[in-house]
Structure 1
Amino acid sequence: METKTGLGAPVTNGASAIIRASDLRKCYDDRVALDGVSLGVNRGEIVALLGPNGAGKTTTLSILSGVLAPDSGTVSIDGHDLATAKRQARDSLGLVPQSLALYPTLTAIENLMFFGRIQGLSSSRAKEASLKLLEEVGLSDRADDIVDGFSGGMKRRLNIACGMLHSPAAIMLDEPTVGVDPQSRERIFRVVEAAAARGAAILYSTHYMEEAERLCDRIILIDHGNIVARGTATELIALAGTETRLEVTTRKALAPGWCNGMAGVSELPWEVAEGFAAALSVVSIDHVPELIRRAGELGSEVIEFHVHRPNLQDAFLKLTGHALRDAPA
């Protein structure tokens, strides 16, 4: 297993790692795109590569898939070194790029058959796999329709099917849900989860934090070409040291120090345009009922309150110093 470490420290990959990368570096002229990225994805595991646009996610996937050569560092796919056994490594890999890799004038099944034959499948095996995947991505009733008439979500689902057709040991997806409708997003999640259940190692690049939290076993946070942290969502939130936040609005103003004497509770700076409100950092959510009771007594009445549990976005903000954002390319 890859051991969880703090802010960008080295990783250790065990025998089950299907996708391995060590010390990847890449520069474009004087701009450093990747600065020593190391990672591993195990069989049956979904790992998120999470970061803002321009953080290095697509560059990482391009190198791992053999589309782009690193300036230094090594990559292996299912035990095949990408530099010395490129054909075997690529045969073990399914790449789903962010830009749709489809032929718009062909039908859905013609696209799948084409990619299946490219991957070395026989006609019968390619057709069998195509029909199975069309069912899985929810397009079996559109098999003979021209792709140019598909919606964006349908094209995304077909794009994923093309990358999985040859049952690869490793699957890499680059922003697979960009611009899709909620129904297509849910279908994509189920397809990815099913592939992992069959034993594929999946590297899932995204800048949607809720996707990483929901779908992935582990998360790698990358920014400015560096891995800033890695682990489960729970581990990253703990690593960031963020705590529960309570916001409470009362009818009368609460005097400073109104929550003094409660261990693990501290007041936070807070301003509102109108009304009276307070914000607190709370170590344990068990303190909330007592705080609400006390606020009601000292502020005449609690008008409303909100409890914000720490999430991955809080962790990212704490670990990187800025929110997840669209960075320049």
Structure 2
Amino acid sequence: MNASSLSFTLIFTAYKDIDSAKYVFFTVVLLIYIASLFTNVILLLLIYFDTYLHKPMYIFLFNLIVNGLIGSTSVWPKVMAMLLTHVNTISYAECLLQVFFTATYGSCNYTVLTVMAYDRLVSIFQPLQYHAIMTPQKVRQLLLAADLVPVLCVLGQIFLTSRMPLCKHTIHRILCDNLSVSGLSCGDSIHVTNIYGLCLVVALLILPVLIVLLSYIKIIGFILKASGKARYKTFETCSPHIIVFINFSLASLFSVVYNRIYPYLPAEANAFLSVNYILVPPLLHPIIYGIKSREIRKSLSNFRKRTVWIT
């Protein structure tokens, strides 16, 4: 990695394409970002201060929410600043940093969701041994693995990408992503980077998805055999996690499809759809848990009662 490449200036062409609608786009992004910050922070505070929620499932959820906040905050303030200041350039070093945060956001989401699926399996199939298995030390180990493995793997990807020579300087998006940045490079080293990237997709996306799907196939089998009361309790316990998993997987799948069709889309639709993957899930995840989790609803209700009493 050399300093001259890192100081190289890249140009986002999408900002010029959406010039006529940039204030509308800014308003949409700002409103969703503020709503996302508000809902996520409220849920973080509930989990942190309510000792009843100090359980492995909600500790993992806390980690998932923090990851979503880091991912969205690493992107949207910069995007909104560009929309307002008419600046559509970024240094290569800053672009690589944006790629790191967005890639880590996606991969950590899947690893944490996988750990949460394991937690649900243990709670359903080994309820009497649950606390003996999911000890505080075990929870810390699972969270460390879910966070550290994606970070190290993505750092490897960023290092390989930064070593490739740049042949282009334009990105047809409103933010940096790994696919766009890799497309700027040339030379023989691009094959090594692509192979490494494919391994990352298998390890941090396909494998976690398969593990979660297999977990829920097993859970569904249990639900079908259980009594009415046990069936309802199991469904109530698992439904927030599975809805969040489906929501994020659909957003990820949509992003993959988008990467194949974006040259044929109008500029305004192109800009919005390119950010759907990292704009919508951080907003929906706390809302889904707030609606579907009885314990979080109860905690929120108690918080409101205390607030009313104090005032």
* TM-score using structure 2 length: 0.22
Higher relative contact order (CA 8 A, sep 6+): 2
Question: Of the two, which has the highest radius of gyration?
Answer: 1
Q: In proportion to residue count, which structure has more helix? A: 2
* TM-score using structure 1 length: 0.21
Q: In proportion to residue count, which structure has more strand? A: 1
